[in-house]
Structure 1
Amino acid sequence: MKPRSHELVARNRDILERSLNGRFITEATDSSLAPQHFARYLAIEEQFVKAAVRVRAFTLFAEPNWDSVAHHAASIEDLLGEQLTYFHDVRARHNAAPADIGRAIELSSGLSTYVLGSVSSAGYAGAIVNMFAAETLYLEWCSRAAASRELNPVLDLDAWIALHVSPSFRKQVGILGAFVEALPETTAEGGGSDEHLDAWFTAMLGAEDNFHDAIYFDGA
């Protein structure tokens, strides 16, 4: 029998593939992403990483197994360190009109609203599955991009992709999968049925799709 996290991905493979074939991921993979769209993406992704820090802080607080607390702390450290450092270093090199950045952030805010709201509505189990969905999407996207062409670490987009195929990121996705497998199968015990997990997983992917589409608002 496959691990529960593998079964979760397998059941929702069609929806995951839809996300992987969205415009942003396709253009980021084949290097056709326009400079203004990349600049907008950097701005909105930085905002979401900050939201993800808060979600992972909640999962650390709510973690039922003390021996697993350090895994949440390591994820928070990576988001606050490596990922936010990336934005600090890169965003100044990719300018866009402040009005465009503000518009992109406004249009993309649903992802942060959803994932932060899930802390209240779905608790620890929902937060874990949502983050597993997001990180699985990025691991699969970036793995395919890295396999399709040689990444150039000098290029900022390629450096972002490389962050998401690193051994440490792969390890984090694996740990999130293990957290999924440890969830009880009833909400009464703080977990969720397969139907609950599917609903959280696919809702997160849908929110990611809308988030990525938010950089395209000028008809280009």
Structure 2
Amino acid sequence: MLLSDRILSANDAVLNRMLKHRFVADIQVGGLDKEVFHRYLAYEGQFVETAISIFAFATIKAPDITARRWLIGVQDALANTQVPYFEEIFARRGIVVADSMPLAVTAFDAGMLDIARAGSFLDVLTAMFAAEWMYWTWCRNTNSAQITDLDLRAWVDMHTATGFADQALWLKQAIDTYGAETDGDRLCAIFDQVTQLEIDFHTAAYRDTAQIEGS
């Protein structure tokens, strides 16, 4: 069994919990509250900037120029495509992000950065694999849903587009390519940790009512 498939198999239960999260389910039935979507966008927009740092750590730790080239391209897309996307949608929808964030959101950012700083190249890849494989999977499962909010529709479409699919598949393949001598149990644990953080991150959009204006 490929290492990436072993990681996915070991984490099937926790991944399914995320794939069945209320946030996903609400989108699939066309019932995601606008306020929840706005809060979620605020949290996710902040994480995009964190992700640039995470991939910078991965670039430094990459074992060869092939991986570095790919990862530099990821950072470029985050900085020059994703960040402007959030700037535009925040301005258009009147979303004003508060200075403080819920604990689950800051814990996600901090947890991911801790892995990037202290972990190996494969640790960082696995952390982002957990996040991006989850997004690619639930958005593919949701692609046929009747979504009337055009921005939410675009968000789902973005995560099923070729560019995002290529990134999720690259992470999976890179784990197999560079992970032949790696402790698979450690990577399975990282995937579990990140998915748990993702569950709490998405739940925070329902719990919090005071962190963002413009809802």
Contact 1:35–1:94, Cα closer than 8 Å, also in 2: no
For normalisation by structure 1, the TM-score amounts to 0.86
Q: CA RMSD in A?
A: 2.1
Q: What is the deviation of 1:83?
A: 1.6
Q: Are 1:194 and 2:184 counterparts?
A: yes
Matching residue's letter, 1:171: D
**Matches of 1:103 and 1:40, distance apart in 2:** 12
Matching residue's letter, 2:66: D
Matching residue's letter, 2:198: E
**Matches of 1:28 and 1:149, distance apart in 2:** 8
Matching residue's letter, 2:184: D
The residue number in structure 2 matching 1:149 is 145
Paired residues in the alignment total: 209
Matching residue's letter, 1:198: C
The residue number in structure 2 matching 1:177 is 172
The residue number in structure 2 matching 1:131 is 128
The residue number in structure 1 matching 2:90 is 91
Q: Structure 1 184/96 Cα, relative in aligned 2: closer, same or farther at 3 Å?
A: closer
Q: Structure 1 118/104 Cα, relative in aligned 2: closer, same or farther at 3 Å?
A: same
Contact 1:133–1:201, Cα closer than 8 Å, also in 2: yes
Find runs of 4+ consecutive structure 1 residues off by over 6 angstroms: none
**Matches of 2:180 and 2:14, distance apart in 1:** 23
Q: Structure 1 218/180 Cα, relative in aligned 2: closer, same or farther at 3 Å?
A: closer
SS of 2:105's equivalent in the other structure is: helix
SS of 1:215's equivalent in the other structure is: helix
SS of 2:120's equivalent in the other structure is: helix
The residue number in structure 2 matching 1:57 is 56
Q: Please list, as runs of the form range in 1=range in 2, the aligned pairs for 1:42-121 lying within 5 A after superposition.
A: 42-95=41-94, 101-102=98-99, 104-121=101-118
**Matches of 1:150 and 1:27, distance apart in 2:** 11
**Matches of 2:208 and 2:128, distance apart in 1:** 30
The residue number in structure 1 matching 2:213 is none
The residue number in structure 1 matching 2:38 is 39
Please list every run of 5 or more consecutive structure 1 residues that lacks an aligned counterpart in the other structure: 187-191
**Matches of 2:55 and 2:172, distance apart in 1:** 14
Contact 1:43–1:105, Cα closer than 8 Å, also in 2: no
Please list every run of 5 or more consecutive structure 2 residues that lacks an aligned counterpart in the other structure: 210-215
Q: What is the deviation of 1:37?
A: 0.9
Instruction: Kindly indicate whether structure 1 or structure 2 has the higher relative contact order, using CA contacts under 8 Å at least 6 residues apart.
Output: 2
For normalisation by structure 2, the TM-score amounts to 0.88
Contact 1:29–1:145, Cα closer than 8 Å, also in 2: yes
Q: Are 1:208 and 2:198 counterparts?
A: yes
**Matches of 1:179 and 1:139, distance apart in 2:** 17
Identity of aligned residues (%): 26
**Matches of 1:137 and 1:171, distance apart in 2:** 14
Q: What is the deviation of 1:102?
A: 4.7
The residue number in structure 2 matching 1:189 is none
